[in-house]
Structure 1
């Protein structure tokens, strides 16, 4: 046993051993990720460097970082070597952009397969597929509203970092993308909601396909997300953000209070959202 351990130690100290061990960690345990845009303010910030747990939702098919080349075939046809439970509602998730698998996004999972979503001015509504009794048992009464005979939850996630920008009307912007065929949700009339100017509809609707996930940024009015390009399949799920190992702002000032903190602690503690608000919100995030 000691001889075998010494051989492993010698191997791990070699260049080849180091590369192999690092790749195994990246393939199966954790991978570094940098927040590139403001779509998750005030929860995750531009300049946050974090590790992503690769085993949170199964084990994705290994790929070489940066070039995203698969090192093994997709045996199961769902992007995973080992299947696992998919993201839960409310999870922050790292995934591959459905229209370009080399691009990684990070958003909050708003809804899962079978759920229904309604988007209107400054509000999102969720109808979980489990039905009325489940909704009454798991969500506060003051957040519930009946729409077209179904019980919906208004803003089901109460994390302090979720934010609407009063200077931006994303609903109006969505009209341009709808007319250009670049908006995934369908326009609908919801009698229980206020009318919007002279428009023939006042909301957008989407039912999430089975085994897919509706991803939305916490910075609701500055996020290119499932409202625009649709839901995310399980094959594109990469993992769950774990903790911040480094962070700096756009002036390269280190955010010492975020380093070493888990994503769970950051998203649940209002102090982090308050500090993020001081950095401002109008960061030029584009909806493309």
Structure 2
């Protein structure tokens, strides 16, 4: 009797499995119209997810100059957190609110006013309302020289002026004893940072085109903070296929600050 019930139970399970197979809709044949529609829907969803991540959450950035040498190297590939400062909403002047504001020492990727469409990475050294100046290569903020262990200077590089620095005239603190203002890379200011503007410098001070040359950065142009190096290679290495043979796996990990 027990064996009969057991066999009957197995028979019932088999019948249910067969019924499930009969009810399952058949897969569309390969390369049919329905097959193409299914793949198109899958690709569209994947594309929309990708756009959402790139627009509001993450961006990528590649270091192509030595202006941040010592902290970020040429050939570093970075992931940028766009949520911290708030991502811009495409085709509008609005932004998704972020959870932080730029602070002293923050490394930030931003859009350049002097070169539309170009993204730049520099370090935040001046906030709205700060008084900034530089004397003989030493940076002063509100009368005090902050500790800058990341800053690099080469004493063998001669100080130079640049006509692009004349924008500073509009933001100088008035001084009746000052003669003609002739700013140089290592001697300029004092300047006052306007509201909603930030002063950015490269860590490699002698090799960086930064706020000294092209002015303040608007808050709305800031894209986010680099937080992870996902690939790195030595672009100056004398090797074939440098992308593979000159990799720097030791740099992969959290981005330095």
Counterpart selection for 2:155 from 160, 166, 191: 166
Name the counterpart of 2:48: 20
Q: Relative contact order, CA 8 A, sep 6+: which one is greater? A: 1
Give, in angstroms, the shift of residue 97 of structure 1.
0.6
Question: Looking at CA atoms only, which structure, 1 or 2, has the larger radius of gyration?
Answer: 2
Counterpart selection for 1:262 from 242, 250, 254: 254
Q: 1:58 to 1:11 in 2, by over 3 A?
A: farther
CA-based RMSD of the aligned residues comes to 2.6
CA distance in 2, matches of 1:12, 1:47: 36
Aligned residues: 200
Name the counterpart of 1:56: 84
Name the counterpart of 1:154: 145
Counterpart selection for 1:237 from 194, 210, 222: 222
Q: 1:181 to 1:221 in 2, by over 3 A?
A: closer
Give, in angstroms, the shift of residue 123 of structure 1.
1.1
Equivalences for residues 98-109 of structure 1 within 5 A: 98-109=113-124
Per-residue CA deviation, residues 172-201 of structure 1 (Å, 9 max, x unaligned), is 312xx1xx35444358999xxxxxxxx9xx
Counterpart selection for 1:213 from 170, 178, 198: 198
Structure 2: tracts of 5 or more residues without a match: 1-37, 176-183
Normalized per residue, the structure richer in helix is 2
**What is the SS of the residue equivalent to 2:96?**
strand
Q: Are 2:128 and 1:113 aligned?
A: yes
Q: 1:101 to 1:85 in 2, by over 3 A?
A: farther
Equivalences for residues 30-109 of structure 1 within 5 A: 30-62=58-90, 72-74=91-93, 76=94, 80-82=95-97, 85-109=100-124
Per-residue CA deviation, residues 203-256 of structure 1 (Å, 9 max, x unaligned), is 432211111110000001110000111110111111000100000112231111
Normalized per residue, the structure richer in strand is 1
Q: 1:112 to 1:11 in 2, by over 3 A?
A: farther
